Chain A
Amino acid sequence: MSGVPIRLAAAAKTFRRGTQTTEALTPIDIEIAPGEFFAVVGPSGCGKSTLLKMVAGLVPATSGEIAIAGGTVRKPVTDLGIVFQSPVLLDWRTVLGNVLVQLELRGLDAASYEPAARRLLDAVGLKGFEDRYPFELSGGMRQRAAIVRALIHDPPVLLMDEPFGALDALTREQLRLDLEALWLAKRKTVVFITHSIDEAVLLADRVAVMSPRPGKIDRLLTIDLPRPRGVTARQLPGFTKVVDDVTNLFLERGVLQTTGKLSLA
């Protein structure tokens, strides 16, 4: 299913527990176009996961408004596929069962999706592991199963929280290519969180660079590289320039430092 728009209007989040408050996100305004690939990069703890869960309606915004396809988000949004930062698979189900539970919980006929599920599992390199339990998989394999679970019902919106974080460099590159191909074919609206500036620039139409906590959008970059970007886009001058811009921004903000401080002396 192709994408729908997402709009955040002054959406902010402050966590409260007792007297302790954590300002996770200062008011944020974003308009994501239908079918846009939107990436978010930022230092650890700046509120990226919180932002994603707010969009999904899993964490209520403290103030402001979030709307998906024109409808204000007040409760968990169901018209989406979500990949959490950790795989959150069900221990008691096999890999295939973990994918099909997406459909069972939605009251869909899971059996009719089984061929598609097997195909997708094959595509992410999990062929032969369909009947294994999560504890029998590596962290990266679990994450790949979780990605398939987010895709199987063909949602118009994909929310991905560092989906390739636990993967080795090669698998990561492969899945990035696959995701780009999938997106080119389906034009879902994708919100993609990553620590990798490279990955963000290679995948996204726009990259939001977030500042350290309390998180806000420090800069919005439009990536005008031709698609499919594949593996060759890294050589384009446009690519190098954007990556440099983001890196410099992180240097300015002190998120990156060129002098090593990790010494025991």
Chain B
Amino acid sequence: MARIRSVAQPLLLALAVLVLWEAAVRLFDVPNYLLPAPTAILADLARRWPRILGGAWITGLEILGGFGMAVVISLPLATGIAFSAWMARTIYPLIVAFQVVPKIAIAPIFVIWFGIGWISKLTLVFLLCFFPMLVNNVAGFRGINPEIMDFARSTGANSWRLFWRIRLPSALPSIFTGLRIGAVNAVTGAVVAEFIASDRGLGYLLLEYNGNLLASAVFATVFVLSAIGLSIYYAVEGIERLAIPWHTAQRQSEKVGEQT
């Protein structure tokens, strides 16, 4: 029951906002190029569907590719930083320093280096995902309760067992925080990279539609982009629920005002 309500309530609210929006646009006769009505956006989405879908494929692959690369690289790197004093002293400070560089500001350089194809897009998405993931992974590995480590050491477990049975599970909640931030950043990264230089993808379409004052087409594209972002975000949450049920259950049961 609570499950259904937790999905139904926000949906109903969204529906109410859409109805209000539609009513307001009609009532005050707002011109389409300023703020199109939801029905107009929907109609435009249907009309331009093949093109938008094509762009969505491109942008979606950029998002997934950059995100995936960030996961694959940040996890082993964070493990190294957390467990090797040498790496923590040498590599980590550099990474933290580089984290402050506004990645979007240097994105145009990627176009000069890598051209307007896949590589410049993947690079920006990767960078926007990589840093929050790495920092959260490292924090997860470092944040383990020292008394749990005391217990584990008293069993004489080797480093392999310590990692898989103690360190990694204890770091997972923090690792998933990084993944969720990465999921959001990845969408921004892909669109911005396409804004900077591209000849395809949803970011490219957005620029084109905006240039032609096709507001309802712009909104339709943004809608599809958000849908992609939401799917990735919820996919991460779903995996999180499977991977760390103890944590999600704990969070659920501690939620203020939870009704059962």
Contact = CB atoms under 8 A, between A and B. Distances in A.
A90 B250 contact: no
A56 B152 CA distance: 12
A102 B155 contact: yes
B250 A91 contact: yes
A203 to B, nearest CB: 22
B169 A104 contact: no
B152 A105 contact: yes
A105 B253 contact: no
B246 A105 contact: no
Nearest to A159: B154
A96 interface: no
B8 interface: no
Contacts, number: 69
Given A58-B153, A76-B154, A105-B161, A90 B166 contact: yes
A53 B153 CA distance: 12
B165 A105 contact: yes
Interface residues of A, number: 25
B236 to A, nearest CB: 18
Given A53-B150, A88-B145, A90-B148, A106 B244 contact: no
A36 B21 CA distance: 79
A102 B158 CA distance: 13
**Chain B residues touching A, range:** 20 to 34
A78 B154 contact: yes
Interface string B139-154: 0000001011011111
Contacts of B247: 91-92
Interface string A66-82: 00000000001110101
B155 A106 contact: yes
- Tell me the interface secondary structure of chain A in the complex: loop
Contacts of B244: 92
A222 interface: no
A133 B156 contact: no
Contacts of A58: 150, 153-154
Q: Which of B147, B158, B169 has the most CB of A within 10 A?
A: B147
B172 interface: yes
Interface in A44-76: 53, 56-58, 76
Given A91-B246, A102-B155, A105-B161, 17 more contacts: A56-B150, A58-B154, A77-B154, A84-B147, A84-B150, A88-B148, A88-B151, A91-B170, A104-B165, A105-B155, A105-B156, A105-B166, A106-B156, A107-B161, A133-B250, A135-B246, A135-B250
Interface of A: 53, 56-58, 76-78, 80, 82, 84, 86, 88, 90-93, 101-102, 104-107, 133, 135-136
19 contacts: A53-B150, A78-B155, A80-B154, A84-B150, A88-B145, A88-B148, A90-B170, A91-B170, A92-B169, A92-B247, A101-B165, A105-B152, A105-B155, A105-B157, A105-B165, A106-B155, A106-B157, A135-B246, A135-B253
